[in-house]
Structure 1
Amino acid sequence: MRGVFLNSEHLVTKSNHLIEARHRQSLTAREQKIILSAVSMIQPDDDDFKTYEIRVRDFHELLGIEGRENYTQMKEIIKNLMTKVIEIPREKGNGWIICNWASHVEYIEGEGRIEFGFDPKLKPYLLQLKQAFTSYKLSNILSLKSAYAIRLYELVKKWQHLGRWEVTVDQLKEKLGIPEDKYKRYGHFKSRVLTSSIEELNANTDITVSFEEVRKSRKIEKITFSVRGMKTKPDSKPKPSNELEGDLLNELNQLSVGYEINIEGYKKLLTLSYFVFNDNYKEELKKLIKLVNKRIDKNNDVNNPVGLMIYILTEKEKLMKQGYHVQKFDEHELDQSGEVIPKWFEDFKNGKKKEEALINPEEQEDLKAFFEGFRS
């Protein structure tokens, strides 16, 4: 059993094929939250499913529920959950995989805990994902009341990097798990599902969503969603806005050697550094500038210093979203007479084993991205 406790800051990471699955029978909000809580307990290095334990007390605290289900109510929730199937599009586009979310779910009366086991068919879509996946903090869906809002959040979150997603009304209903005989009139679907769900997302999650209707003749055939990320959630620590054109930009430009950080580059650096390092974002930006300065002074092979810094922070952001621990920039590197990349990492790059190069596996991708950034 996993030694991982439920935490709203944990990441939910799913293959995009799983995000795009058809939900023939819609999951309730409670059922989705149980599943996604279990998904958030999967670790990036897991090579097989475990039995994931959710303590009902923790689950209720995260949801802000004051009452408690009794054994009969919990048994009914689990029984209903076990009847729900999903249809996942195969990677090569030739058919579907139809399976349940769970291989088993147990509620242990008297101990107040749920044991959740995933269907083995879901392994390629939840374990050791390297590409074509979507990640978000569990906290984003815990405060959503509507089952449709939770599902819509995942669907539009997948397209956040492009900022736009177009889908037919019929396809959207399928993905949301709306039965064919429900909300046949578009006006009912729009008011009772679409508009209300988007209001929930904009009020409670890390994205802002809007939509436009695409008509064919007089009928609404498609929906085009616009999605923007990186906004501050209401319960999150706000990013300091008074520094966008203030003393910090001047201070960073005083540190830079032979180049200037303009306001657009600064906004990107500030946003990325705050996301990755939180309260330490100022000091880490200063250290990053010093590292780039040393690279320029030593090798003179950096044509776009600001672009390089944005690249490094973007790679660190990607690693965070995959669940890796991202280290601060090493103070000791600044004392190595212009030596930006440690020798032991050069050894690793040149083919020595991880053990010989003294590299922590969790840091491998982070440092590789760091090194590749200086080569670009």
Structure 2
Amino acid sequence: MSRSTTVQNKIARIENVFLEKAQYNLTVREQKIMLFLVSNIDPRQKNFRTQIIPVKELEAVLKHDMKKWGGLYVEMKKFARSISKKQITFPTDVVIDGQPLEGYINWFSSVVPKRNEDGLVCISFAFAPELKHFLLKLKQFARIDRSEVLEMKSFYSIRFYQLFKAIYQKQEKYRTVVYKTISVAELRAMLELEDKYTKFTEFRRNVLNPAHAEINKYTSLHLDMEFQRNSKRQVHAVKFMICHRDDVPKQLSLLGDEEKRSISEMTKEEILARSKKFEITHFKKKYPGAYRDAVKKVRETFGDKIDPNHPAYMNSIVGQCHTWFVENVGK
């Protein structure tokens, strides 16, 4: 079976449990090829069919990231060798000494170069049968638009995009904004980082920030983050706010110069500290009319699209009041 990269094949359908629980680490190119191959699958079929893909089609997908290209032969050899060795780690129900044992699944049962009936050089991909539970006869699945990841440069961006797509699509019928809190340990395990980026500042700089930026730039989702700290002031979890980009609260347009720092870069403590510095309580008492107008404007902008307790809501009110103060009273 030979497939093309035409628009009708751009949606990859993957079971939610895989996107939320599977642990793996692929290169950006491997992840893009994987989504391309999954988008070629008819999930109604009983078993996987071998996909025989002309290398020119694979080249088109791999070259899109504009990274250094080492020549078709070199890249195809490198890709086939690498992807055939990659595994997926998955939690199981088997417990020994109180700890669940992990299972390991290969992506493919075979990756073999050959020629198709037209004489074109191709690579034959046969998905491992253990993946049928996640790619065939789907029950609760996410629709991943692979055209939204073509420009991404980070594997973490692609992996998180799929995760948040699954989380969002499960709840979008019931709410506009979806919240999900995930521990840092879970995020690290999902990406199989092991000893990489062990400090949270490194994890944030190299994993979270690029993923946050690329998801908001290239996809239909909008993502914001709030970092949660334990009693030792260490970040132990991340609360994600996920919505469609057409529904994103317009909080950034409400901020003054000082308030233009991204919401995702701030904690609740930082917002409260800045509010105190601006003396918002004093402002509310001295300029009640201006404060009411600021709250009204923020509510009109947000509508029902955001939880009033979300830091972005508080931050926007402070920003409105600060802007009014600068314009009408002076610094």
Q: Which range, TM-score by smaller chain?
A: 0.5 to 0.7
1:100, distance to aligned residue in structure 2 (A) = 0.6
Give how far 1:190 is off: 0.3
Aligned sequence identity (%): 30
- Rounded Cα–Cα distance in structure 2 between residues aligned with 1:220 and 1:65: 33
| Structure 1 gap ranges (5+) | 233-376
Deviation at 1:42, TM superposition (A): 0.6
**1:138 aligned to 2:146?**
yes
How far has the Cα of 1:60 moved from its partner? 3.4
Alpha-carbon distance in 1 for matches of 2:240, 2:123: 36
Structure 2 length-normalised TM: 0.63
Contact 1:169 1:223 in 2 (8 A): yes
Q: Counterpart of 1:174? A: 189
Q: Distance in 2 between matches of 1:17 and 1:88?
A: 10
Where do 1:322-341 residues align within 5 Å? Answer: none
**Aligned counterpart, 1:206:** 220
Change (3 A) 1:132 1:65: closer
Which residue is 2:165 aligned to?
157
Cross-structure match for 2:79: 77
The one-character-per-residue Cα deviations of 1:128-158 (angstroms, maximum 9, x if unpaired) are: 21x2211122212222111111111111111
CA distance in 2, matches of 1:65, 1:212: 30
**1:216-295 matched pairs, under 5 angstroms:** 216-217=230-231, 218-229=233-244, 231=246
Cα offset, 1:96, TM superposition = 4.3
Matched residue type, 2:141: F
Instruction: Please name the residue that 1:190 is paired with.
Output: 204
- 1:147 maps to what in 2? 155
Which sits farther off after the overlay, 14-23 or 201-210? 14-23
Deviation at 1:27, TM superposition (A): 0.6
2:130 maps to which residue? 121
Root-mean-square deviation (CA, aligned residues, Å) is 2.5
CA contact (8 A) 1:8 1:137 kept: no
**Equivalent residue number for residue 28 of structure 2:** 29
Structure 1 residues 8 and 32, CA, compared in 2 at 3 Å: closer, same or farther? farther
Q: How does 1:85-104 map to 2 (within 5 A)?
A: 85-90=87-92, 96-104=102-110
Q: 4+ residue stretches of structure 1 with deviation over 4 A?
A: 65-68, 90-96
Aligned with 2:149: secondary structure? Answer: helix
Which residues of structure 2 form unaligned runs of 5+? 172-177, 248-331
Letter in 2 for 1:225: F
State the 1:112 CA deviation: 3.7
- Secondary structure of 1:158's aligned partner: helix
Q: Give distance in 2, aligned partners of 1:50 and 1:231.
A: 38
Contact conserved, 2:65 with 2:153, CA < 8 A, in 1? no
Q: Aligned partners of 2:59 and 2:150: how far apart in 1?
A: 10
Distance, in Å, in 1 between the alignment partners of 2:162 and 2:57 is: 23
